[in-house]
């Protein structure tokens, strides 16, 4: 009964936090159905109006439409990513094509587009302020890119393609999660544990206990377990098992994603042609900072050349370590992290096991809060009285510099079988001021290993960087200060959205932060200055490897979407061909192979746009220079510009204009190569 469905009523919890305890999987389908029915009626009221199209009766009315559907969808999408089950997955498979059909019906509505197009044509005479003009432009662009105004047969085909792509993306993601849930490496005895740090032993023992294997240790395909295992296990045979399983996700049996990739690429290419573009990449990037695939390709290739050269030098150094050990094998992908860690120890007298005791998750969480406070005046107060969707999830009330409520922040830090791997930021509610001051509810989702009861959860320096990265996204949502939901928070160009998050990573490496928060989990002593110096000196260590595994993924993504007629493409053969063409160094693989490349195929978030991390890194490398030039990493005037034009600005401005308003000039691409330590190699190349 509708009267018993908690999704249909405002939550009684503080600040409107969804009442997760009351929500069951069977509540979602009727809530979705009602939400779609309500929005169809709201759209009909807009198109049926006899009034001349105006901003209030068309754009603002469109912004107000579908509120129930948006709220239900936010709860549902967050649960299916962070705490799913078979019942929710069944609803997800059913709803993904229906939601696509509903969205298509709106964006392909001739009467609705006629009103928007009329208003857009009169925009210079409509007395709109800058934010309203931006919202109108974004809506007009979205409708045109969806196919509005095109012949009926074209719109019908576009709608069918969108529905099918929605189903394919859902199945792709569920297949990867199934593979990650099903695989485990049981470490039976001390010989299997050779080389593992105390923290990894403890984490893998806890996983084993949770699986009903007390006394054993288990490595799963959670990145927080498998990557440190590959970096530390002295058992080459076990490293190979783990790496092969990690690389083979989505590539066999009932969870084989290769057919999904082939069909997805063909449908995306067809859609692009129907919309007048040569290929999907051209369509996708036309509405980005890059503007063209060639611009993105130029950036990737400019970095690939020095990165590849550096990776080859790194491989030679690792191979020398193998020979020094008496090894009679060539460095393979499952060896790289292990020998790189050995090399880092030799060259910088530092290893992950030495650093981790100083990187307590709790203290690193305090570090991101402290940084946000110093930059923007935010305060994060624990609210254990507000329940979340899982006992591990923490809730914080966020207040601004004036002490006013700014939003809720949820921290979901630990890996579990019900959560897809990786890390991300999302929102249960976005900031807006269309009908009152609506404050956001933002969540960061991580996949760190949970410590044993009573022990501190220790993370790697890369994990700490991920924590800062995702919190930068969270700040983008929390600090948003716009009127309209369409341009709120992270609703910006894909190759700009990573700028605020990657910029925030810089504060992790500041001595002031590490000396204050990197304290030993047993003694409470701060990280020794000598160790800190060695850690910071090693920041560009192994950057050839890191850059090559990322850029190769971005190049394969872009090349796949540059095909105008993908046909019956074989993803594995195409991957091999691209990697051969670019000269992929032996012993290295892509960070994300196509069968488990969720950024690209579990939806369209980063399709033909995985390059955007690198594009945004140009911005963040150059942007942090503003603080360095001020001589203070918390310089108030610089922080205010960063707040006003980036974190609070949403999509109020064109991203290039927003960046230049903050920085005072266009970004300098050379800053990226300097940050990654590739300048000398670039000059030599």
In a domain, 317, yes or no: no
Distance CA 476, CA 425 (A): 10
Choose one of 537, 554, 573: the last residue of a domain.
537
Distance CA 271, CA 608 (A): 14
Check whether residue 384 and residue 530 sit in a common domain: yes
Check whether residue 43 and residue 119 sit in a common domain: yes
Residue pair 275/286 in contact by the 8 Å Cβ criterion: no
Average pLDDT over residues 526-538: 93
Check whether residue 11 and residue 129 sit in a common domain: yes
Average pLDDT over residues 409-425: 94
pLDDT in tens, 344-380: 999 999 888 889 999 999 999 999 999 999 999 999 9
DSSP assignment of 305-368 equals HHHHHHHHHHHHHHHHHHHHTT--S---HHHHHHHHHHHHHHHHS--HHHHGGG-BHHHHHHHH
pLDDT value for 453? 83
**Whether the predicted pLDDT of 681 surpasses 60:** no
pLDDT value for 223? 87
Check whether residue 73 and residue 218 sit in a common domain: no
pLDDT in tens, 465-483: 999 999 999 999 999 999 9
In a domain, 492, yes or no: yes
Reading the block at residue 28, the tokens are 């979602």
pLDDT in tens, 40-86: 999 999 999 999 999 999 999 999 999 999 999 999 999 999 999 99
In this prediction, residue 680 has a pLDDT band, given cuts at 50, 70 and 90, of low
Reading the block at residue 117, the tokens are 């197009």
Check whether residue 126 and residue 234 sit in a common domain: no
In a domain, 385, yes or no: yes
Residue 397 neighbours by CB under 8 Å, 6+ apart: 15, 380, 381, 383, 405, 408
Check whether residue 425 and residue 362 sit in a common domain: yes
Residue of 470, 559, 575, 604 marked catalytic: 470
Total domain count for the chain? 3
SS3 for 37-100 is HHHHHHHHHHHCCCCCCCHHHHHHHHHHCCHHHHHHHHHHHHHHHHCCCHHHHHHHHHHHHHHH
Which contacts of 18-26 are long-range, i.e. CB under 8 A and separated by 24 or more positions? 18/75, 18/389, 18/428, 20/75, 20/387, 20/388, 20/389, 21/387, 23/75, 25/85, 25/87, 25/88, 25/90, 25/91, 26/87
In a domain, 551, yes or no: no
pLDDT in tens, 194-231: 999 998 999 999 999 999 999 999 999 988 899 999 99
In a domain, 267, yes or no: no
In this prediction, residue 3 has a pLDDT band, given cuts at 50, 70 and 90, of confident
Average pLDDT over residues 478-504: 97
In a domain, 212, yes or no: yes
Distance CA 382, CA 409 (A): 9
**Whether the predicted pLDDT of 397 surpasses 60:** yes
**Whether the predicted pLDDT of 1 surpasses 70:** no
pLDDT value for 495? 93
Reading the block at residue 555, the tokens are 């190049």
Average pLDDT over residues 152-178: 97
Reading the block at residue 24, the tokens are 């069951």
**Whether the predicted pLDDT of 19 surpasses 70:** yes
Give the three-state DSSP class for 438: strand
In a domain, 557, yes or no: no
Domain that holds residue 408: 357-537
**Average pLDDT value over all residues in the chain:** 95
pLDDT value for 682? 42
Residue pair 63/485 in contact by the 8 Å Cβ criterion: yes
Check whether residue 123 and residue 242 sit in a common domain: no
Which H helix or E strand runs over 394? strand 394-399
Check whether residue 89 and residue 205 sit in a common domain: no
Distance CA 429, CA 408 (A): 9
Average pLDDT over residues 523-532: 95
Distance CA 20, CA 425 (A): 19
Strand pairing category for 217-219 and 379-382: unpaired
470 among known catalytic residues: yes
Domain CATH code at residue 468: 1.10.1370.40
Q: Which of 149, 66, 144, 155 is nearest to 114 (CA)?
A: 149
In a domain, 438, yes or no: yes
pLDDT in tens, 120-142: 999 999 899 999 999 999 999 99
pLDDT in tens, 254-269: 999 999 999 999 999 9
pLDDT value for 44? 98
Residue pair 355/460 in contact by the 8 Å Cβ criterion: yes
pLDDT value for 366? 98
pLDDT value for 494? 93
Residue 591 neighbours by CB under 8 Å, 6+ apart: 549, 550, 552, 553
Q: Which of 489, 487, 496 is nearest to 475 (CA)?
A: 489
Average pLDDT over residues 418-430: 95
């Amino acid at each position: 009964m509708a009267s018993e469905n908690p999704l249909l009523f405002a939550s009684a919890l503080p600040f409107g936090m969804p009442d997760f305890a009351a929500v069951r999987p069977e509540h979602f389908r009727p809530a979705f159905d009602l939400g779609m029915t309500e929005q169809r009626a709201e759209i009909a009221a807009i198109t049926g109006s006899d009034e001349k199209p105006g901003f209030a009766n068309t754009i603002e009315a469109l912004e107000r439409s579908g509120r129930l559907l948006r709220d239900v969808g936010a709860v549902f999408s967050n649960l299916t990513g962070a705490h799913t089950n078979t019942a929710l997955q069944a609803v997800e498979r059913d709803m993904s094509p229906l939601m696509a059909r509903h969205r298509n019906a709106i964006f392909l509505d001739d009467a609705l587009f006629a009103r928007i197009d009329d208003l857009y044509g009169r925009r210079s005479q409509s007395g709109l302020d800058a934010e309203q003009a931006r919202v109108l432009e974004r809506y007009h662009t979205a409708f045109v890119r969806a196919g509005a105004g095109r012949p009926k047969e074209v719109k019908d085909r576009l709608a069918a393609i969108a529905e099918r792509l929605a189903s394919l993306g859902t199945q792709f993601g569920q297949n990867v999660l199934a593979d990650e849930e099903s695989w485990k490496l049981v470490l039976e005895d001390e010989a299997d544990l050779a080389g593992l740090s105390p923290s990894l032993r403890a984490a893998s023992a806890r996983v084993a206990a949770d699986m009903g294997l007390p006394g054993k240790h288990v490595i799963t395909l959670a990145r927080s377990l498998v990557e440190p295992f590959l970096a530390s296990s002295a058992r080459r045979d076990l490293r190979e098992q783990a790496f092969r399983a990690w690389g083979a996700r989505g590539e066999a049996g009932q969870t084989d994603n290769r057919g999904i990739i082939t069909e997805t690429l063909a449908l995306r290419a067809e859609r692009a042609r129907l919309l007048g573009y040569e290929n999907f990449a051209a369509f996708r990037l036309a509405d980005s900072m890059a503007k063209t695939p060639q611009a993105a390709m130029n950036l990737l290739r400019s970095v690939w050349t020095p990165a590849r050269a550096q990776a080859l030098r790194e491989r030679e150094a690792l191979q020398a370590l193998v020979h020094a050990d008496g090894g009679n094998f060539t460095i393979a992908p499952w060896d790289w992290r292990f020998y790189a860690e050995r090399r880092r120890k030799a060259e910088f007298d530092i290893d992950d096991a030495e650093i981790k005791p100083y990187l307590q998750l709790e203290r690193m969480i305090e570090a991101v809060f402290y940084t946000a406070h110093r930059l923007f005046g935010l305060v994060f107060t624990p609210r254990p009285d507000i329940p979340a969707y899982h006992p591990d999830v923490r809730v914080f009330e966020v207040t601004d510099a004036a002490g006013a409520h700014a939003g809720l922040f949820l921290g979901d830090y630990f890996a579990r079988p019900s959560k897809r791997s990786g890390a991300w930021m999302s929102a249960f509610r976005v900031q807006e001021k269309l009908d009152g001051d609506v404050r956001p509810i933002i969540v960061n989702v991580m996949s760190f290993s949970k410590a044993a009861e009573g022990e501190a959860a220790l993370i790697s320096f890369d994990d700490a960087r991920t924590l800062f990265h995702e919190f930068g996204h969270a700040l983008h949502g929390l600090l948003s200060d716009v009127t309209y939901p369409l341009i709120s928070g992270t609703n910006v160009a894909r190759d700009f959205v990573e700028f605020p998050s990657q910029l925030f990573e810089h504060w992790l490496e500041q001595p002031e932060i590490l000396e204050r928060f990197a304290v030993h989990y047993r003694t409470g002593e701060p990280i020794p200055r000598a160790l800190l110096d060695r850690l910071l000196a090693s920041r560009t260590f192994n950057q050839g490897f890191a850059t090559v595994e990322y850029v190769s993924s971005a190049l394969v993504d872009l090349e796949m979407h540059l095909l105008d007629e993908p046909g019956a493409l074989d993803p594995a053969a195409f991957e091999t061909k691209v990697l051969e063409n670019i000269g992929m160094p032996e012993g290295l693989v892509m960070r994300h192979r196509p069968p488990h490349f969720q950024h690209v195929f579990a939806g369209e978030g980063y399709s033909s746009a995985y390059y955007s991390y690198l594009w945004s890194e140009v911005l963040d490398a150059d942007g942090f220079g503003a603080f360095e030039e001020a001589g203070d990493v918390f310089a108030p005037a610089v922080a205010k510009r960063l707040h006003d034009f980036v974190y609070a600005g949403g999509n109020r401005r064109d991203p290039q204009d927003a960046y230049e308003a903050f920085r005072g000039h266009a970004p300098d691409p050379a800053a990226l190569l300097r940050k990654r330590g590739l300048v000398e190699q670039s000059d030599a190349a």
